[in-house]
Structure 1
Amino acid sequence: MELPHELLNKKAEQGSMRAVLLLLGEFSDQDVEWMIIAGNSEAVEPGEILIREGEKVDALYVVLTGQFTVSISQSEADPMSQVYAALEGAVPQRELAKLSNGEVLGEMAFMDTRPHSTTIQAVENSLVLMIPRHKLMAKLAQDKDFAVRFYRALATVLTDKLRASVSRFRYGKGQSLSELVEYEDELDANTLEHLSLAGARFDWLMKQVHQEI
C-alpha cells in the first residue's frame, strides 16, 4: 500500500494534483458525488480565458485535463506597457505560473469577494469541472457539515498554495507550480492520512465525468 506522501508525489508527476488531493481529502464520498451532480464538465480551448483579472468569479473549477497560465497585467504606468497597449489595444500580461490537471481554481472567491487579481487562460485543449457559485453557496447555507468540511479544505489548499508561492520566489523565480519541491513534512498528520482516499475519490470523479461526456 502506498504511503500518503508517496501517493502525493506520484500524483504530482501527472500534473499539479496537490490541490485537488488536499481538497478531496477533507470531503466525504457524498460531497464528491454532490460536486459531480451539481457541476458541469466544460471543454476549454487554447487561448480561452477561464477567469479574467478584475472580474468576479462565478464558479469553482477543478482542472481535469490540460494546462493553464496564470498572469497579471503589467502596470499601465510603465512606458513600454503604454506602447504595447497603443499597438495591440490591450495591456500586456506577465506570466506568473502554469497550472495543470488536479488544480483548483477560483477558490479565493469563496473567502474574498473582491474581483480576481489574475487572469487564468488555457494554453491547450483542457477539461474542467465547473461548479456554479450559486449552487455551491446554496449548499453551504443548507448543509452545515458540508460547510465545515469545505472551508477547512479551502484553508488547507490556500495555505499550501501560499507556501508554494513563497518557495517559488525564494528558490526559483519563473518556476511553474508543478515543478516545486514537495512539502509533505509541512502537512499535518490528519491531512496526510486522507490523501490515499482523496486519490481514489479523484480517480472516481474523473471516471464519472468522462462517462457523462
Structure 2
Amino acid sequence: AFSSLMQGGLVFASGALIGQEAIRAMFNPRPVEQGLLAMAVMVVSIVLTLGLIIAQSKVLKSTGSIAVSGDRAHYAADLGSNAVALVGIGAAAFLGVGWLDAFAGLIVALWLIWGAIGVFREAASQLMDRELPDEDRARIVALATEDPRLLGVHQLRTRASGPYVHMQMHADLDAGISLAEAHSIMVAAENRLLKAFPAADIIIHPDPRGQAESHGGLFAEAQHG
C-alpha cells in the first residue's frame, strides 16, 4: 500500500506538471514539429503499455496485490493519456490547429490526476483497518448458521486489514452435545467461511445456548447493555 501511495503521488505530480505546461501552451500556442515521428512514438508506446497492462491484470487476479493494482492504474492512465495525446498531436500537426495539442495535454493532465486520486483512495482503505460492510457481515452470519446445529451467532466482530479479513464470533450450540461434536461444527463453519473469504483469520467461540453468561469485556457489555 505504501508503494501504491508513492506511485499515486508520482502520477499526481506528473499530471499537475503536464497541466501547468498545457495551460501555458494554450495561451501561447506553438506549431507541432516532427508530427509524424511523434505520432509513431505514441503508437509504439500505446502497444507496449497495453501489453504491460494485460500482464499486470493476470498477476493482479492471482495475487490481489495493492502495489500491482496501483501500478496497473498508473499504466492504464498512461494508455488513455497516450491515446488522447496521439489525437491531439495528429490534429495539431496535420490540421494546423496548434491549440488542440495543448488541449489534449490538459485532458491528459486531468486524466492522470483523477487516476492518482483513485489510487490514493484504494491505498488509504488498505492502510487503515475498517469494519466489513453490512452485506458481508450478513453473509458471514448466513454461512456460519447453514448448519442447523449452529443455532445462532452473536458478538460478531469483523476487521479488514489490507487484503486480510479478521472475524471473531460466538456461536450458540445445544448445551447437551459433546466437545468433539462442538469442535466438528466449528471446523465446518470455519471451512464454509474460508471458501467465501479465502484470506480470512477466523475465531469462533462456542457457547451453550441459553446457559452462557455475558463475557468478552467491553464489547460484550456494549452488545448486551
The question of a shared fold, defined as TM-score above 0.5 by the shorter chain, is answered with no
TM-score range, shorter chain: under 0.3
Q: Which has the higher contact order (CA 8 A, sep 6+)?
A: 1
Q: Which has the higher helix share?
A: 2
Larger radius of gyration: 2
Give the TM-score, by structure 2 length: 0.25
